[in-house]
Structure 1
Amino acid sequence: MNSINDERGCSVCQPGKENYTTYTTKLGRKRVRMYQYDYRTESGELFACCAPTLEACRERRDKWLTGSTSEDKRCSY
């Protein structure tokens, strides 16, 4: 299995970069492919989410980046 985390479960994402991997899960009776996505800002803040497409992850990241306060920058799953 691909991982974007180290052996302790911490993200290995470098500042200004994104990392992602895919996994398969069951939703009801269907198997669904999902993306686990990490993005670390140049200042070191980490954004992480899971979504059905990479584009959806990036949209969530962009919305998070434009948050006006630190409370707006919380990731919601």
Structure 2
Amino acid sequence: MNSINENGCSVCQPGKENYTTYTTKLGRKRVRMYQYDYRTESGELFSCCAPTLEACRERRDIWLSSRQ
């Protein structure tokens, strides 16, 4: 698995996004998930996990709109 963290800390650059996929088991079904980080220009970090990259970006956009 690719890591988007180094020693437990996000390596995401300001104004950029970083993500990786992983597979986990939900019940008896194996599902692909995205681990997603976004760091604002001011350095605030948003991080989430979701089944699609689009869902991660939607959550990020909601988070960003609540910050303004």
TM-score by length of 2: 0.92
SS of the equivalent of 2:60 reads helix
How many residue pairs get matched? 65
Map Cα deviations across residues 22-55 of structure 1 (whole Å, 9 max, x no partner): 0000000000000000000000000000000000
Higher relative CO (CA 8 A, sep ≥ 6), structure 1 or 2?
2
Unpaired segments ≥5 residues, structure 1: 66-76
SS of the equivalent of 2:61 reads helix
Quick check: which one's strand share is greater? 2
Partner of residue 2, structure 1:
2
| Offset of residue 8 of structure 1 | 1.2
Q: CA RMSD in A?
A: 2.6
Unpaired segments ≥5 residues, structure 2: none
Spell out structure 1 runs of 4+ moving beyond 2 A: none
Map Cα deviations across residues 4-32 of structure 1 (whole Å, 9 max, x no partner): 00x41100000000000000000000000
Aligned residues with identical type, % of pairs: 94
